[in-house]
Amino acid sequence: MHDDHNHSEISLEEIEIKSWKKRLIGSWIFTVPIVLIMYLGKLIGIELFSEQLMNILLLILGFPVVFIFGFETIKAGLRGFYSLYFNMDSLISLGTIVAYITGFLSLFSISQNYSGISSMIMAIFITGKYVEAIARGKASMEIKKLLELGAKNAVVLRGNKEIEIPISEVKIGDIIIVKPGEKIPTDGIVTKGESSVDESMVTGESIPTDKIKGSNVIGATINQDGILYVKATKVGKDTFLAHIIKLVEEAQGTKVPIQKLADKITSVFVPAILVLTILVFFNWLMFSNDLSRALGIGISVLVIACPCALGLATPIALMVGSGVGAKNGILIRKGEAIQTMKEVRTIVFDKTGTITKGKPEVTDIHAKPKIKESYLLEISASLEKLSGHPIAKAIVDRVNAKKYREVKKFKILRGRGVEGYIGNKYIAIGNRTLMKEKDIDVKSSLNIIEKFEDEGKTLMIISENKKIIGFIAVADAVKEDSAFAINELNKDRYKTVMITGDNERTAKAIAREVGIKDVIANVLPEDKARIVSELQKNGMVAFIGDGINDAPALKQSNVGIAIGTGTDIAIEAGDIVLAKGSLIGVVQAIQLSKSTFKKIKQNLFWAFAYNTIAIPVAVIGLLHPVIAEIAMALSSITVVVNANLLRNSLNKKFRRM
């Protein structure tokens, strides 16, 4: 992790909070005396100042609040008048400037003095902005927590010396020494040493992963019991952790379609309010012939109409939602996925590496009567150890013997199996074709062979001196929680589909095991995207995959969900990335999408509710400008509080899984 990245990240958030805090303190230092000057005399029934002196004091004290601490707001607001693109600040800046000008008019007894009120409006507005900046900062704390996961220093071998350097100075190819209990500084490959590593921050698995020479390790995971020598393969912004942080940041910056709608509404709503204010002002002026009253009502309409909460409603909910997601290994790369996910009715799964673990494992060992299982395994592993085939590797991994028997005349028979001699016994291990070739009778074992084949497993038949002595079944094992996740989706009436390049028999066996209804087998990699587009004719489709060949389908689908333990290309193509590689993440992503979108809608309701109720009240002259500003500030605070309730409700839902 680059340290400078770390600092700039933190400082951006903190600069914003500090900047609003300074403005907040500054504006209230002047606003409190203004409130006292305006209302203290009335409260105690004594006139403290003459009206002329009071007006001058209010103008002097109000100037820094409106034009120094409120300068950014005034500038942003007035920009709308010459660019003709109005925003929230346009209403506030116009309202406060007009209110401030009444102070000068009051010196000539033309209008009541609202200049003190302009300061209160600005101070309350700045307070709302400060609360908003803190809430944003909180949502970005999740990113900060991810940043803090990284190690700060690394011990590297330079020549024969061990030296400690900052992590930002580690170069690709450096050999890093990681002692027990330390964080692995960066992504790399083990060149020496054996240990187990706690990778729960990435995989969510509580059981540490064993690492030996040649194993890949991920930066920020924790080395457990042995010393590891790790050759750095990725540094700085290329590491897995940096990748995750970038995804989270991108998601928090993207716009949801409903946010674009809110922006459109604002661009129409603000000019409409400006027109309404002018009409209200002239109407009141005509009918009451009281400039002061007309100005006061005009200012109230401007202030209460400011839809500040509207600008907050979507981003704040999206930030909280994506932050909670990131903590739980659900990384939202594109904000719109949150809105689209809730419309999805069909969920399509790639098989290998998504539903299954993606590598063959021994699932069954069946020894013939009078043959010990241990003997069967020992001779199988002794031969298979000499083959580099993935199935052979699965058998050797399962046996994990300290010593193997000596094999003579070993031969690999491509596509069929292996053969050789142990002592003076001839051993052949392979499929039915090999048995037929060697004249070994399989008729008496057909029922066992067919049973395993029906389950979609690859069967190794073991024969000794041309007699079958047992079977070892190998399959790409289903991930522990795939069936649970798919069952949850079926319960919620989602259509679940599996696409695979495997033959139909194997595919159907896996689908039966996990509870998937529809299977599309024998699919060529380039056809996956086409099948997704066919399924899209019946509604929105989410596709879940992990491989390079899944990237086009991930892009084609309405929501592409990439398994984070898969290839970089798949991760790049996904809208949502499941860092833990577990399909429970799909269920959680749907819940996240529904809950976050519900909050966005609630927030938009609250953002408008205050305005809709209060604008008519202001128009008929029953709303004082200060009350108008308090109501406006409350709408922003409601939206922030409501978005933060999302954090608690999502955490509760995820805990139940």
Residues marked active site are found at 350
**Cα(364)–Cα(566) distance, rounded to whole angstroms?**
27
Structure tokens at 188: 């790399």
Distances (CA, A) of 314 to 299, 589, 604: 28, 18, 8
**Cα(479)–Cα(581) distance, rounded to whole angstroms?**
9
Half-sphere exposure of 304 (CA within 13 A, CB side): 28
Structure tokens at 300: 């109230």
For the chain, the first-to-last Cα distance in angstroms comes to: 32
Amino acid identity, residue 99? A
Q: Measured in whole angstroms, how far is the alpha carbon of residue 408 from the centre of its chain?
A: 55
DSSP 64: I
Helices H, strands E: what count in the chain?
A: 22, 22
Distances (CA, A) of 50 to 30, 37, 61, 281: 20, 11, 16, 29
DSSP 161: E
DSSP 183: B
Nearest in space to 536 (alpha carbons), one of 342, 258, 343 = 343
Half-sphere exposure of 150 (CA within 13 A, CB side): 28
Please give the full DSSP string across 407-446, using - where no structure is assigned: -EEEEEETTTEEEEEETTEEEEEE-HHHHHHTT---GGGH
Structure tokens at 157: 């071998």
At 206, phi and psi to the nearest 5? -80, -20
- By CB neighbour count within 10 A (0-12 exposed, 13-18 middle, 19+ buried), where does 52 fall? exposed
CB 485 within 8 A of CB 365: no
Query: What radius of gyration do the chain's Cα atoms show?
Result: 34
At 11, phi and psi to the nearest 5? -65, -35
**Cα(346)–Cα(132) distance, rounded to whole angstroms?**
38
Three-state DSSP at 637 gives helix
Q: Measured in whole angstroms, how far is the alpha carbon of residue 393 from the centre of its chain?
A: 36
Q: Measured in whole angstroms, how far is the alpha carbon of residue 286 from the centre of its chain?
A: 57
Distances (CA, A) of 248 to 33, 194, 547, 636: 45, 33, 21, 25
Three-state DSSP at 217 gives strand
Cβ partners under 8 Å of residue 474, min gap 6: 360, 361, 362, 363, 391, 394, 395, 457, 458, 459, 460
Rounded-to-10 torsion of CA 254, 582, 358, 232: 60
CB 318 within 8 A of CB 256: yes
Name the one residue in this structure whose structure tokens are 């964080």: 183
**Cα(638)–Cα(469) distance, rounded to whole angstroms?**
73
